[in-house]
Structure 1
Amino acid sequence: MNYTLNQLRIFLKIVEKQSITKASEELHLTQPAVSIQLKNFQNQFPIPLTEVVGRQLFVTDFGQEIAEAARRILKEVDGINYKLLAYQGELAGRLKISVVSTGKYVMPYFLSNFMRENPGVDLVMDVTNKSRVVESLEENQVDFALVSVLPQHLNLNKVGLMKNILHLVGNPKYFNKVKLGKSSFSKDTPLIFREKGSATRAAMETYLTKKNVTVSKKIELTSNEAVKQAVIAGLGCSIMPLIGVNNELKKGDLKIIPLKDLPVITTWNLVWLQNKKLSPVALALLDHLNATKEKVIKDNFAWVQEY
């Protein structure tokens, strides 16, 4: 056998994505190039690694075992590279962070200088909903997680990064004003929610419970971007993090609708398990954040004060 590390990486990405097209997009390669590498890799085994049923690609049991072996090999190769860089005096290693979906508007700004200053550090950032973020913490799959609502059942350390401000927003063409009665929003004002498990939904429901408000008409969507587009289209209003709607507010596609006891204000916290032994890379990031977070906020998020 004479397979290459590049073939291992490509095959592993195909297994992860269950698709040659998606793997090629993530690897920034053409689809034919990925297909050729898969074929060359497959030719070295007498047993199929993948099979196509209809138009769907499936990985065989043997292919899954080869993928697991490839994962271990590539991890060892990365370890060799990190040791070399460390021997040369550079900070090196892998940093794994799980980020709630709205946190994608926040975390990159706090990481960018650190990553530029430390080219030997590889970053894996998973952007998902709060339930999956908490699960990754519980299972010790990540170094850190970015959340705006702390999971109470976990013993965590935290570094507060910045405020998370949530306003009621709507498209001014359809919802210039919103009437909130003693017990409910008016029937002609649907509220758009994130899915259960979302921190944004939790903040929204906390507000409604505090005001003892029922919702006459509810729409549920599964991503912050989907909620934003639905509000722009006039499907309803939603309580959304300000950090994710700045451009739409400037263009006039959305408007903040004043309402008593709003905005809701939480804090973006970078958290980790109290009993976790942090790597040198993770410890270096914490030092970096404590030293630079105020400047990051001033340089990138001063516009929040306008609202």
Structure 2
Amino acid sequence: MISMYQLQIFLSVVEQGSFSAAAEELHLTQPAVSMQVRTLEERYGVKLFSRIGQRIELTEAGRSLLEPARKLLSQAYLVEEHFSAGLGDLRGRLNISYGRNSAAALYSFLKLLTSFRERYDKVQFSFHEMNEETIQNMVLEREINFGIITGVTRQRGLDSLMLTKDQVVLAVPIGHKWEGKQIKITDLKGVPFILRSTGSETRRMGELALRSAGMTYSDLQVVAEMDSGEGVALAVENGLGVGLISESVVTRFAVGGSLAIARIELSVQEQAAGAALCRELTLVKLAANLDRQPSPAQDRLWEYLRTQLVEEKIQK
């Protein structure tokens, strides 16, 4: 019979992409990881991985084992969590995925997790970035526990909790003439500008704001394109130009005195035309019912976050 230990090693190799990385994650030697996989292969007379140069890929047999292995291991962890919680010892591993456009939520979310772990220090977390539609589907399929997305979910079967409202502001170098001021979107015309890459929600919001004023990004002097908000902040910090960025990201730099903030004031007409520089970032989980109850760690974290966020609103 396949052991849970062997399944854990198999999945770690798949997720980490190599035997050496899996060994590091599991605190084992690489020969020990290889031996467990080989034992599993020999027991059933199959090959689970094939080597292609320096890479490894799942064979057909390996792919057929992947989904059952994940489900079995998930159930084993769930049983352990329930028994541990019953003994007053909350533990478990929670998988949380966030979209490329909702990564800014991590700045406030991780602070909440830190205070949660002060109470429940045996709960572990695993974070991954992925497509927001994939996130919601994986939550529904119970492949991950929580997802962070932009806006409100339209998927049936999911519960949601608004984590924060994310304001998009203009990052400017220290000493810039716009530092601490409000400007109009039309003021950006001809100014050296750092642009977020295609597919970014920040880029889309900026595009709508410009369009509402009869402009496009071609009216700006685009000097660089960055794949992340942090990349925009670093480019602005080094004097390449100014750029639209999540306030939670730029504040981290501004506190250290390396960046400043300017705010874009949208007119009533621009807002009526669809311009908006604020968005909601939302946490989603599978809606509980009699057939699929959350693990104790999932349930406790959700209730903790809900309570903390309500308290924050009251204090504001």
Pairwise same-fold verdict (TM > 0.5): yes
Which residue number in structure 2 is paired with residue 270 of structure 1? 283
Q: RMSD of the alignment, in Å?
A: 4.0
Identity %: 22
Q: Note the alpha carbon deviations across 1:14-53, whole angstroms, 9 max, x for none.
A: 112322344345x1647xx134322343145144332322
Which residue number in structure 2 is paired with residue 305 of structure 1? none
C-alpha change, 1:121 and 1:222, in structure 2 (3 Å) is: same
TM-superposed CA distance for 1:275, in Å, is 8.1
Q: Which moved more, 1:130-139 or 1:57-66?
A: 130-139
* d(CA) in 1 for partners of 2:229, 2:304: 29
Code of the residue aligned with 2:34 in structure 1: it is L
- Give TM-score, length-normalised by structure 1: 0.73
Give the one of 284, 292, 303 matched to 2:300: 284
Q: Which moved more, 1:225-234 or 1:257-266?
A: 257-266
C-alpha change, 1:23 and 1:209, in structure 2 (3 Å) is: farther
Which residue number in structure 1 is paired with residue 80 of structure 2? 81
Which residue number in structure 2 is paired with residue 213 of structure 1? 215
Is it true that 1:246 corresponds to 2:251 in the alignment? yes
Give the one of 229, 238, 255 matched to 1:224: 229
* d(CA) in 2 for partners of 1:190, 1:19: 41
For residue 162 of structure 1, give the secondary structure of its aligned residue in structure 2: strand
Code of the residue aligned with 1:81 in structure 2: it is E
* d(CA) in 2 for partners of 1:22, 1:232: 35
* d(CA) in 2 for partners of 1:192, 1:42: 49
- Give TM-score, length-normalised by structure 2: 0.71
For residue 106 of structure 1, give the secondary structure of its aligned residue in structure 2: helix
Which residue number in structure 2 is paired with residue 70 of structure 1? 69
TM-superposed CA distance for 1:164, in Å, is 2.0
Give the one of 224, 247, 262 matched to 1:257: 262
Q: Is the 8 A contact 2:185 2:266 kept in 1?
A: no
* Structure 1 spans left out of the alignment, 5+ residues: 303-307
Code of the residue aligned with 1:41 in structure 2: it is V
C-alpha change, 1:181 and 1:243, in structure 2 (3 Å) is: closer
Give the one of 23, 37, 42 matched to 1:41: 37
For residue 48 of structure 1, give the secondary structure of its aligned residue in structure 2: coil
* d(CA) in 1 for partners of 2:48, 2:295: 38
Q: Is the 8 A contact 1:171 1:231 kept in 2?
A: yes
Which residue number in structure 2 is paired with residue 19 of structure 1? 18
* d(CA) in 1 for partners of 2:81, 2:213: 53
For residue 217 of structure 2, give the secondary structure of its aligned residue in structure 1: coil
* d(CA) in 1 for partners of 2:285, 2:215: 35
C-alpha change, 1:9 and 1:137, in structure 2 (3 Å) is: closer
* d(CA) in 1 for partners of 2:26, 2:257: 35
TM-superposed CA distance for 1:169, in Å, is 0.6
For residue 81 of structure 2, give the secondary structure of its aligned residue in structure 1: helix
For residue 282 of structure 2, give the secondary structure of its aligned residue in structure 1: strand
Matches within 5 A, 1:95-106: 95-99=94-98, 100-106=102-108
* d(CA) in 2 for partners of 1:233, 1:131: 35
Code of the residue aligned with 2:236 in structure 1: it is V
Q: Note the alpha carbon deviations across 1:168-223, whole angstroms, 9 max, x for none.
A: 013348x6559x88867333523411431x43334333433333331125554333
C-alpha change, 1:226 and 1:134, in structure 2 (3 Å) is: farther
TM-superposed CA distance for 1:59, in Å, is 2.2
